[in-house]
Amino acid sequence: MKIGTRVLGPQVRVLVIPRQEGNVVFKAKAVLDYKAFDSLITQPVPPMVTMKGETEAKANFKDSKYTIEFDKYVSLKRDWMFIESLSATPDLVWEKVKIEDKGTWGLWSEELIEAGFTPMEINRIVGLIIEANGMNQEMIDEATKAFLAGPAETLKK
């Protein structure tokens, strides 16, 4: 797909963290496809229950075993998305995190701490990932303002 003459691709955002020994650059790309994740992890299904006086079974989303499994699933999906998004950072090499081992995905924050990043810097990295994977209202407003200013400037000429 093109819009005008532009060929679109995944959004990439950049964060530069200043360091005395040299700036650290993180790139985060939008994750457009979760097929790789879905091939590794199956979303849990709530148990079906039939309530007294009813004939049709309904999903019990409040089942304690299901809610625990669903919370684990959501955490794994978030961790995988974070790792996949940061794969746009050219020289990033994880020491503990292995994309093929779901048991290691949650170690991304531990690795960042061990690498010397502060909680505030880690929050900025997480914000970068979130920004790359979705737009906030401020970004939409700025883009709309810039777009609308363009035609107005053309009319002045």
Give residue-wise pLDDT tens across range 50-94: 878 878 888 888 999 999 999 999 999 999 999 999 999 999 999
Query: Model pTM?
Result: 0.80
Give 131-138 contacts, CB < 8 A, sequence gap 24+: 131/13, 131/28, 132/11, 132/12, 132/13, 132/28, 132/29, 132/30, 132/85, 132/88, 133/28, 133/30, 133/31, 133/81, 133/85
Domain count for the chain: 1
Asked whether residue 102 is assigned to any structural domain, the reply reads yes
- Residue where the block lists tokens 């684990």: 72
Residue 156 lies inside a defined structural domain of this protein: no
Domain membership of residue 153 (yes or no) is no
Looking at the chain, the whole-number percentage of residues with pLDDT higher than 70 is: 90
Q: Phi and psi (nearest 5°) for 100?
A: -85, -5
Residue found under tokens 């920004």: 131
Domain, as residue range, for 47: 2-137
Is residue 116, in this structure, part of any structural domain at all?
A: yes
In the predicted model, what is the mean pLDDT of residues 107-126?
Answer: 97
Own/partner long-range contacts of 33-38 (Cβ < 8 Å, ≥24 apart): 34/77, 34/81, 36/84, 37/77, 37/80, 37/81, 37/84
Report yes or no on 98 lying in a domain: yes
- 154 found inside a domain: no
25 domain-assigned: yes
Task: Fill in the amino acid letter for 11.
Answer: Q
On whether residue 142 sits in a domain, the answer given is no
pLDDT at 139 over 90: no
